[in-house]
Amino acid sequence: MVAVTDVETQRLFDLAHDRSVAGRKALMTTVTDLFFEQGGTLSDRERTLMTEILRQLIHDVEMSVRLALAERLARQPAAPRELVTALANDQIEVAHPILLHSEVLQDVELIEIVQHRTLEHQLAIAMRSSVSEPVSDALVATGHVDVIKTLLENRSAAISAKALDYLVEQSKRVDSYQNPLLSRPELGADLARRMYWWVSAALRRHILDHYSLSEADIDEALEETVAPAVDALVDDQAARKSMQLADTLAGQEQITPALLVQTLRDGEIALFEALFSRLTGLRLPLVRRLLFDAGGEGLAVACRTADIESPVFASIFVLSRKARPYAPGIERGDIKRILTFYDRLTRSAAESLVRKWQTNPHYLQAMWQVDRSQRAHG
């Protein structure tokens, strides 16, 4: 290639004096063509001059021209950093190809854009083929559910252990984080174990199938997860008063399924636990575990021992899901699934399982038996 000729230089000067829209566009096109076609033979001075001309021109030309330049620069590893940064901060239509593909942008520019530009800019950065931990941390710090979900679904993004720990906790209330979190290769068994108690039945099976967790591991996670939540929900004084009232009502034979449903509707969790414990004969800690079981099979077994009718059980199931401090939400088909399980479950089978619960220190072992039974009849 040859250097910039005098003719080309004169044409650049002529175009620079043309302030019309067409003149600005022609100057941008000419400089861009020279930059890319003769970039290897340009002197440092010429390269710097053309970069500065392009940087100033992008504020004067229409979006279609800026977009064409952005698409041209997006996959150029030697593109001028200042120009790429300016385009990355442009409107999202222009910035998108740069944010998605440019390797010129460094973490400092990406983090600045995450912190000061739009949601669309953040989403584009979350989809990059390479996202470092500092950039991921900045994306997580936005708190935008769609941005974080997109980041989690990007398997090539690097996510720090601290961010994963935070997002696992957030997944208690943000269901859309759960599935992509459990698909992350860096998610360890300890975090998956914590998630077990608030994800759907399908994801619980995924955890059991993909992580080597023992019964003791899950029981330990249950205590770590459920106990603080129950303590926050039900204080000792409320629990004592509820047990006293439940004892009185049990003595008068006034504990009925209808009363259980009404208690849940009123948000009286401690009283429901006490009433349910007296009606079923289950210890209060076990009743609390049933309420925090995501699938609902354990609750179904306990209700069947009390001969609770199917529609009433459905109400207890739905209301108990909503009563938990964090509720993953009832997925489509959950009610049909649990009612099918409930209708197939005989009272004698339920009573047999409850006897095992009462004598077996490993609650989860019995729950797995319920799960296997449900699968066998599904």
In sign, the C-alpha dihedral spanning 125, 127, 128, 133 is positive
pLDDT at 272 over 70: yes
Q: Which two tokens stand for residue 223?
A: 């205590």
Greater confidence, 258 or 57?
258
pLDDT tens-digit map of 68-113: 888 888 988 878 888 899 899 999 999 999 999 999 999 999 999 9
Between the two ends of the chain, the Cα-to-Cα distance in Å is 72
Top-confidence range, 31-35, 317-321, 325-329:
317-321
The number of C-alpha atoms within 13 Å of 170 and in the hemisphere containing its C-beta is: 20
Give whichever of 7-16, 157-166, 289-298, 365-374 has the largest mean pLDDT: 157-166
Burial class (CB in 10 A: 0-12, 13-18, 19+), 266: exposed
Phi-psi region of 281 (alpha: psi -120 to 50; beta: other; left: phi over 0): left
Tell me which range, 144-148, 334-338, 355-359, is most confidently predicted by mean pLDDT: 144-148
Residue partners of 51: CB distance under 8 A and separation at least 6:
35, 80, 82, 83
307, 351 in Cβ contact below 8 A?
Answer: no
pLDDT for 164 beyond 90? yes
Most distant CA pair in the chain: distance in Å? 106
Q: What pTM was computed for the model?
A: 0.57
Q: Please tell me the distance from the alpha carbon of residue 89 to that of residue 91, in angstroms, as a whole number.
A: 7
Q: Residue 312 above 90 pLDDT?
A: yes
The residues, any chain, with a CB within 8 Å of residue 213's CB and separated by 6 or more, are 189, 192, 193, 196, 207
* Cβ pair 317, 341 in contact under 8 A: no
Q: Where are the domains of the chain?
A: 1-99, 228-377
